[in-house]
Structure 1
């Protein structure tokens, strides 16, 4: 691979990471729920998720290139057939819009609670930056994630190193009951759910790049980065179990012990992770709603999505998202199985 291909591979990998990693990861809640509560089994579960991220994420990229897919519509039509794909596309659009609303509400709360900036102003500022990022199309998303993701990785590495050098007295394993293989099911569920969200960006990204070597390398870089971040964050959280379970944002509690500079950096990273998920969702939703031959980054489509999400975010959307997430998880499992299932001849 030449220098340009290597650069593209890292851009793909960083975009993959930025699409998967959101507020749930940054807060630490996802890591606790899917991995840390299983104690040392998490060190087996995280590699399972990492392998799935590498395997299925790369397949999504390659299938996007092979299908010349401008959105995930072509992929769902190939996997499910036109009739069933239409229903799945509609549900995925609702889900993407729901997560978009949740991200806007989250960023408003972040600005208000930590920077004393009015909720609406924080949301409007993020909406404006989202609009100008998406106006640049896929290149804008690649550039944004090339900036945000290295900062995320750096903070996780810092927290890991600080946890190793200032190891508190380890507490007993959390008092939960589970069967011997629930850690495995949880690891698969985590990968499936996040891959279901990532498909809206990975498929058109594969079409955008078209270079097989770059796509395979980028998929692997993204998966390895996600696996490394999961391991580092889990290690830091596991040292503080079970006490850390009472905190709504456990990672914020950990960073609060490292001084004001790290706290401020954590706020920046949390906003960055919300923003990276937001631009991925709005881009994926726009790619579905844009009329044929109309650019995905068309200003009207983006403005309509963001405006609708802004108004819904004012009344709160957390309950709807709470009910939709489990259903979306089941759909993601189906998508995962169909992507892994061997075909003759294989598309990619």
Structure 2
């Protein structure tokens, strides 16, 4: 096993999943924070599912030596079925763009007192300029953003523990029904994130050996599980005040003060920006030879539609949209796994 490549695969898995919704704390709260102490049970289950689903998806890419998720869906579902799959994937990517635009507007409104529209438009213009100019290097920015994000999350968690904030006590309520809902939420959360990561995980698996796939998937899943648990514990410590904000981790950053607050907010915004740029590139992929002007028109139209939808509010988009995407991803993933198993039996 090439240890360095396996470690890079684990980091890539983490970087693919850790987007702005994750970093903001809103996504963690909606999927796990509402279930009090049972939220940690949900995170433990989610970690196992992220490892298993991620390993299966990368192994699928390895077996088929697929350069993109479209090659896998075409092999599994045929030309007609893959068109439906691609359409669903693009729809989910658009939904995430709506969340990113809303998240940017709320982050800059809550922390810098900017008008919501100004913060959202500022972020959209930055993303539009990037994809129009074709500067794809920004897509590798997670190599810097993710370690910074992990560091800030750990700093916030340590600060909360050392401060003995009273909100943590109130969060340790245990109810059986919370545990049931938290486990269901774990399934949707894992499926949602792995489903939207197909475009990265499938070609990544094609470049790895079997041992590297196992280490990359399970190492990445464990890293994600630790970050989820620390963010949840931090939100509980700052409850209920943090839960009143659209971007709860922005409120936490404000409590840290000084340069830590400024740097944390910069990283949060960078997560929004990089996620928005990545999704825009995916939407523009059918137009690889289009002129810069045409790409600008298409990207501008998509962003304008996303801005209109973002007026529903960041928390509402995450609360209702992300679970829906989880159900769609769950169906797609298990359909993909089942179809590949049938293909293997046919060959034998």
TM-score by length of 1: 0.80
Aligned to 1:135: 136
What corresponds to 1:204 in structure 2? 203
Q: Please give the per-residue CA displacement for 1:159-186, whole angstroms capped at 9, x wherever unaligned.
A: 1111221111244348897355222111
Match of residue 249, structure 1, among 247, 257, 262: 247
Structure 2 contact 41–179 (Cα < 8 Å) conserved: no
Query: In the TM superposition, what is the alpha-carbon distance from 1:206 to its structure 2 partner?
Result: 3.1
**Aligned twin of 1:65:** 62
Aligned counterparts, 1:256-335, within 5 A: 256-287=254-285, 289-290=286-287, 303=296, 306-319=299-312, 322=317, 325-335=322-332
| Shift in CA distance, 21/248, structure 1 to aligned 2, threshold 3 Å | same
Indicate how the Cα distance of structure 1 residues 135 and 173 shifts in structure 2: closer, same or farther if over 3 A, else same: closer
Mapped to 1, the partners of 2:273 and 2:219 lie a distance apart of 21
The residue number in structure 2 matching 1:184 is 183
* SS in structure 1 of the partner of residue 170 of structure 2: coil
Is the contact between residue 35 and residue 183 of structure 1 (CA under 8 Å) also seen in structure 2? yes
8 A contact 2:73–2:336 mirrored in 1 = no
2:280 & 2:45 partners in 1: Cα distance? 29
Compared CA separation, residues 343 and 318, structure 1 to 2 (3 A): farther
Q: Quick one: structure 1 residues 305 and 270, their matched pair in 2 at CA, closer, same or farther if it must change by over 3 Å?
A: farther
Q: Residue 220 of structure 2 aligns with which residue?
A: 222
Q: What is the CA–CA distance in structure 1 between the aligned matches of 2:323 and 2:294, rounded to whole Å?
A: 28
Name the SS for the 2:197 alignment partner: helix
Identify if the C-alpha distance between structure 1 residues 324 and 34 changes in structure 2 by more than 3 Å, giving closer, same or farther. closer
Aligned counterpart for 2:13 among listed residues 11, 16, 31? 16
- For residues 102-134 of structure 1, give each alpha carbon's deviation from its aligned partner in whole angstroms, at most 9, with x where no partner exists: 424543554566555954344322333456676
For 1:294-346, what per-residue CA distance to the aligned partner results, in whole angstroms no more than 9, with x for missing partners? 68x99788656533333334434454994754542221121343356593648
Structure 1 residues 103, 13: CA separation in 2 closer, same or farther (over 3 Å shift)? Answer: same
Structure 1 runs not aligned, ≥5 long: none
3-state SS, counterpart of residue 168 of structure 1: coil
TM-score when normalising by structure 2: 0.80
Measured against aligned partners, the alpha-carbon deviations of 1:31-78 in whole angstroms (never above 9, x if no partner) come to 122212222222222121111111111222232233333332222234
After TM superposition, the structure 1 = structure 2 runs for residues 155-194 of structure 1, keeping only pairs within 5 Å, are 155-169=152-166, 170-173=168-171, 178=177, 180-194=179-193
Q: Deviations over 1:253-299 (max 9, x none)?
A: 22222113222122112122223423442344344x25xxx68x997
- The answer on whether the counterparts of 1:134 and 1:279 sit within 8 Å (CA) in structure 2 is no
User: What do the CA deviations read for 1:5-30 (whole angstroms, capped 9, x no partner)?
Assistant: 51x33333333222222222222122
8 Å contact from structure 1 (residues 171, 242) kept in 2: no
Deviation string for 1:203-251 (max 9, x for gaps)? Answer: 23334x3444443332223212211100111111122344543332222
Separation in 1, partners of 2:95, 2:298: 11
Q: How well do the aligned residues superpose, as a CA RMSD in angstroms?
A: 3.4
Separation in structure 2 between the aligned mates of residue 15 and residue 125 of structure 1, nearest angstrom? 24
Q: Which moved more, 1:119-128 or 1:253-262?
A: 119-128
Match 2:80 to one of 78, 83, 103 = 83
Q: Are the structure 2 counterparts of residues 69 and 131 from structure 1 closer, same or farther at C-alpha, using a change threshold of 3 Å?
A: farther
